[in-house]
């Protein structure tokens, strides 16, 4: 168990596509390494969740954020930028999970401080394999900073 926290890992999924959200959440949860998956469908909710504002006052700070780019209200780049600019949030790894293959999009994400960029595949097998890989690497092998007591 690599997470220095004793409690299960917390993941925040941000995707405006409910189908992808459901599928990703199902895949992430069904795993030997327990994790809690929270999900929001737009960029403003994502930031509010992370800041525990509005209806998210009892939200748990996530260990990992999986973030799509094309989101309503605030888009993924804006969320990324805000997270990485906030000293309280910026140590949280952000994995961009998007269908875009455009080099400019990818380059922008890294420039804004994304930890990882993973292309969302177009077919089921690859989608499942990729979510599996993300879950496995980040929750089995990588370490996260301890979550502060709130």
Partner 1 sequence: MKAFDAEILLIEDNQDDLDLTLHALKRENLANNILVARDGEEALDFFFCRGSYAERNFDTPPRLVLLDLKLPKVNGIEVLQKVKSDPRTKSIPVVVLTSSKEELDLVRSYNLGANSYIQKPVNFTEFRQTVKHLGLYWLVVNQPAPQGACEPAGQEP
Partner 2 sequence: MTSGMIPETRNHAEKTSRDSGELLRVLLVEDNAADSELVLRELKRAGFDVTSKLVQAAEEFRLTLEEFVPDIVLADYNLGQWRGMEALEIIRNKALDIPLILVSGALGEVTAVECIKQGVTDYVLKDSLPRLPISIRRALREQRLRAQRKQAENELALKVEELARSNRDLEQFAYVASHDLQEPLRMVAMYTQLLAERYRGKLDEQADKYIHYAVDGALRMQTLVQDLLAFSRAGREGTKMSPVDCNLVMRQILKNLEAAIREKNAVIKHDALPTVRANSSQLQQVLQNLVNNAIKFHGEKAPEIEVRAERNRMEWEFFVSDNGIGIAQEHADRIFVIFQRLHTREEYPGNGIGLSICKKIVERHGGRIWAESGVHGGTTFHFTVPAPDEKENAASRGAEPKNLDTKDLDTKDEEPKHEPSGSLVSR
Binding residues for partner 1, per CB under 8 A? 2, 4, 75, 77, 87, 90-93, 101-108, 110-111, 113, 115-119, 130, 133-134, 136-138, 140-146
Q: Give the residue with the Cβ less far from partner 1, 57 or 148.
A: 148
> Nearest 5°: CA angle at 44, between 103 and 145?
75
**Least CB distance from residue 130 to partner 2, whole Å?**
12
Residue 63: CB atoms within 10 A of its CB come to 26
Q: Give the residue with the Cβ less far from partner 1, 23 or 106.
A: 106
Coil, helix or strand at residue 48: helix
- C-alpha span between 133 and 150 (Å, rounded): 31
Do residues 50 and 87 touch, judged by C-beta distance below 8 A?
no
The single residue listed with the structure tokens 């455009």 is: 102
Instruction: Note the residues at the interface with partner 2 (CB under 8 A).
Output: 17, 19, 23, 99-104, 122-125, 127
Q: Give the residue with the Cβ less far from partner 1, 52 or 90.
A: 90
Chosen from partner 2, partner 1, none, partner binding at 89 (C-beta under 5 to 8 Å by type): none
Q: Give the residue with the Cβ less far from partner 2, 87 or 103.
A: 103
Q: Give the residue with the Cβ less far from partner 1, 18 or 113.
A: 113
Relative orientation angle of helices 124-136 and 18-29, to the nearest 10 degrees:
50
**Least CB distance from residue 135 to partner 2, whole Å?**
18
**Least CB distance from residue 21 to partner 2, whole Å?**
12
- C-alpha span between 123 and 127 (Å, rounded): 6
- C-alpha span between 85 and 80 (Å, rounded): 8
**Least CB distance from residue 82 to partner 2, whole Å?**
25
């Amino acid at each position: 168990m690599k997470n220095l926290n004793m409690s299960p890992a917390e993941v925040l999924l941000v995707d405006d596509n409910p189908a992808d959200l459901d599928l990703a959440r199902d895949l992430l949860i069904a795993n030997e390494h327990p994790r809690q998956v929270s999900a929001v469908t737009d960029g403003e909710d994502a930031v509010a969740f992370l800041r525990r504002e509005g209806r998210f006052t009892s939200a748990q700070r996530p260990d990992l954020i999986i973030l799509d780019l094309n989101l309503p209200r605030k888009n993924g780049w804006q969320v990324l930028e805000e997270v990485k600019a906030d000293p309280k949030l910026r140590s949280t790894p952000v994995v961009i999970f998007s269908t875009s293959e455009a080099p400019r999009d990818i380059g922008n994400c890294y420039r804004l401080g994304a930890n990882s960029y993973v292309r969302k595949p177009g077919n089921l097998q690859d989608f499942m394999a990729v979510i599996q890989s993300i879950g496995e690497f980040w929750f089995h092998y990588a370490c996260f900073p301890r979550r502060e007591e709130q």
